[in-house]
């Protein structure tokens, strides 16, 4: 079907599919952070009905002429102040009854950030709050399902890839890394075995500095060897490409 519309005084032909329904498209951002003690999720208070005032993921609607990645970045910045955050597309949620107002298809994104690195950017626009993963309140619509999907993907990735280092500061101790992994996987790891396997990965550089606030002996600070880190992912991608061919 061909119709016309006027743009800046000019009549333009536009095409539409016959008998095709029109839906609202939204984006939802699942932002995980780590404060050194707990893995947390960034939530906001919904500012309009339905469910006004209730806890929600950071989300909003995709605007005309806007890609979904750009929409996710815009929504995140407008509601929390956060920008420059790398987000990965997670999944599309399109249950016909997920939004009681009208049919809305949501594209979910997720990100891993060091809370302390971005804390100065955080604004009060959407009343954002970091909430520990084990204390998440009831969320609107199917947002809890989105969070569970993101947690499952994070655990799956962390099993084979060192992605959790994205949640850490530039310098960190081995106990801090172990605490992070235990929070994500929700189980305890043997301290000696964990440290041995982590050091054998070759991804860490010892700094010579120690963190002494928690014990007299102290724990050495380490840094991620970013060259080997990038090389790890390149070899992973090349390996997958080789299997596909």
111: CATH = 3.90.79.10
From 158, 187, 205, give the residue that closes a domain: 158
DSSP 7-61: ETTEEEEEE--TT----EEEEEEEEEEE-SS-EEEEEEE--SSSSTTSEE-EEEE
- Tell me how far CA of residue 37 lies from CA of 131, 167, 174, 226, in angstroms: 12, 12, 13, 24
**Shared domain check, 231 and 174:** yes
On whether residue 1 sits in a domain, the answer given is no
Three-class DSSP category at 130: strand
pLDDT at 151: 96
- Tell me whether strands 24-34 and 104-114 are parallel, antiparallel or unpaired: parallel
Confidence of residue 207 (pLDDT cuts 50, 70, 90): very high
Examine residue 13 and state whether it is found in any structural domain, yes or no.
Answer: no
Is residue 226 very low, low, confident or very high in pLDDT (cuts 50, 70, 90)? confident
Q: Are residues 53 and 133 in the same domain?
A: yes
Q: Which domain holds residue 142?
A: 24-158
**One domain, residues 131 and 206:** no
Q: How far apart are CA 180 and CA 38, in angstroms?
A: 7
Do 174 and 128 fall within a single domain?
no
Q: Are residue 68 and residue 94 in the same domain, yes or no?
A: yes
Task: Band the pLDDT of 228: cuts 50, 70, 90.
Answer: confident
Has residue 40 got a pLDDT over 90?
yes
* 90 φ/ψ angles, rounded to the nearest 5 degrees: -95, -60
Tell me what the pLDDT averaged over the chain comes to.
88
Residues 177, 70, single domain; the answer is: no
Could you tell me if 29 and 144 lie in one domain? yes
Residues 144 and 49 grouped into a single domain? yes
79 — pLDDT class (breaks 50, 70, 90): very high
pLDDT, tens digit (0-9, with 9 covering 90-100), for 175-203: 999 999 999 999 999 999 999 988 988 89
Please determine, for residue 245, whether its predicted confidence score (pLDDT) is greater than 50.
no
Residue 15 in any domain: the answer is no
pLDDT at 220: 92
Q: Is residue 163 part of a domain?
A: no
């Amino acid at each position: 079907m061909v119709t016309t519309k006027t743009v800046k005084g000019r009549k333009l032909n536009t095409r539409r599919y016959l008998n095709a329904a029109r839906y609202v498209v939204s984006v939802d951002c699942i932002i995980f952070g780590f404060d050194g003690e707990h893995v947390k999720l960034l939530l906001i208070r919904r500012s309009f009905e339905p469910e006004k005032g209730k806890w929600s993921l950071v989300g909003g609607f995709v605007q005309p002429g806007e890609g979904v990645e750009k929409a996710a970045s815009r929504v995140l910045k407008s509601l929390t102040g956060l920008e420059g955050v790398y987000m990965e597309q997670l999944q599309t949620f399109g249950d016909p009854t997920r939004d009681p107002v009208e049919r809305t298809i949501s594209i979910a994104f997720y990100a891993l950030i060091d809370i302390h690195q971005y804390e100065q950017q955080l604004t009060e626009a959407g009343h954002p709050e970091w909430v520990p993963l084990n204390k998440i309140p009831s969320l609107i619509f199917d947002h809890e399902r989105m969070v569970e999907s993101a947690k499952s993907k994070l655990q799956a990735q962390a099993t084979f890839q060192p992605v959790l280092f994205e949640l850490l500061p530039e310098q960190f101790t081995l106990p801090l890394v172990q605490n992070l992994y235990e929070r994500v996987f929700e189980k305890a790891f043997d301290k000696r075995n964990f440290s041995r396997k982590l050091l054998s990965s070759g991804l860490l550089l010892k700094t010579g500095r120690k963190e002494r606030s928690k014990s007299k002996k102290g724990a050495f600070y380490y840094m991620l060897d970013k060259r080997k880190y990038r090389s790890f992912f390149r070899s992973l991608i090349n390996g997958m490409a080789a299997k596909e061919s």
